[in-house]
Amino acid sequence: MKFGIYRLHEVLDEAAIKSIEQAYRMPVQVLSLYRAWNRCEIEADRRWLERLRCAPRDIMLSWEPWRIDAGRTGPPDQPAFSLKNIISGRYDVYLRAFADELARIPRLVYLRPMHEMNGNWYPWCVSVNGNTCQDYISAWCHIHDLVAGRVSAKVKWVWTPYARSYPGQTVEQLADVFPGDDRVDWVGIDGYNWGTSRPWSEWQSFEQVFSDAYRQLSAISRRPVMIAETACAEAGGSKSTWITEAFGVLTRRFQRVEMLIWFDVNKECDWAIASSRASLAALRASGRIRLPSGT
């Protein structure tokens, strides 16, 4: 199984990755990065894309149709980025230009557009902007068909819902927003154990977080599965035990999972693996477990 991490938006160099690998005693095979479309001007992306071409590991690129200004996330509706506007071709010039830049990247790129569509916090989610499930599928197909012909086979398409759909929105089953295996190379799941870090949250095991979504994905797709984002809070239980049990249950109950990306930052809470000595030790020990090999 491949292991990757997210460490903010900049591309880590080889020295930084080696330092992480030494600390975690696990190989880091995939770097997770996010890129917002922002003003949809390719000139604003070129310097960042030049750094991306030098990435020393394969890349997970979450490609986000919304605008983020000066470190401030905008409101989740942002009607300019409604799914209907994407379908209409409003951003096609930008998409083609970005695709041409992706084609120049020598590493394998896992391209993850419009993730967590079954939430309510992004402009492409089906519960905002008047978006519908069919709009999401049509927008995915539009982006895929426009970009796929301009990039090489080194770009793999990753479709990733959140582990559970949020109340008050229209996704009843993940199949409602699945574009089909003909336009998807990997299916993924995002999910977190928030513990008791929020008034609405409670401690959940890895299995509790992911089992329902994994069951649904296994029923609708033959593609390999990844855990595209995960992490565990410290509040409410033992994070080290959570990590140990997570890697153990992967071998027993989630055998189609071939990649796991850890959200390795202190953001909403301290998701980092090394948030405590105990959690770091748990990951180091788990790295010695024989896991299914990925491709």
pLDDT digits (tens, 9 = 90+) for 97-139: 999 999 999 999 999 999 999 999 999 999 899 999 999 999 9
Q: Quick one: which of 138, 206, 132 has its CA closest to 172?
A: 132
**The Cα angle at residue 185 between residues 180 and 191, in degrees rounded to 5:** 85
Q: Tell me the mean pLDDT in the region 53-58.
A: 96
CA dist list (Å): 266 to 38, 109, 189, 233, 274? 24, 25, 21, 10, 10
Q: Tell me the mean pLDDT in the region 17-32.
A: 95
pLDDT per residue as tens digits for the range 129-138: 999 999 999 9
Q: Write down the pTM of the prediction.
A: 0.94
- Confidence tier at 167 by pLDDT (50, 70, 90): low
Q: Tell me the mean pLDDT in the region 243-247.
A: 96
pLDDT for 23 beyond 90 = yes
pLDDT for 168 beyond 60 = no
Which domains are delineated in the chain?
2-286 (3.20.20.80)
Q: Quote the CA–CA distance of 113 and 126 in Å, as a whole number.
A: 14
Q: Tell me the mean pLDDT in the region 256-282.
A: 95
List 14's β-bridge partners, or say none: none
pLDDT for 190 beyond 60 = yes
Q: Where do we find the tokens 């390795």? A: 264
CA dist list (Å): 131 to 77, 79, 159? 10, 10, 18
Mean pLDDT of the chain: 92
CA dist list (Å): 158 to 65, 209, 219, 225, 253? 15, 20, 17, 9, 22
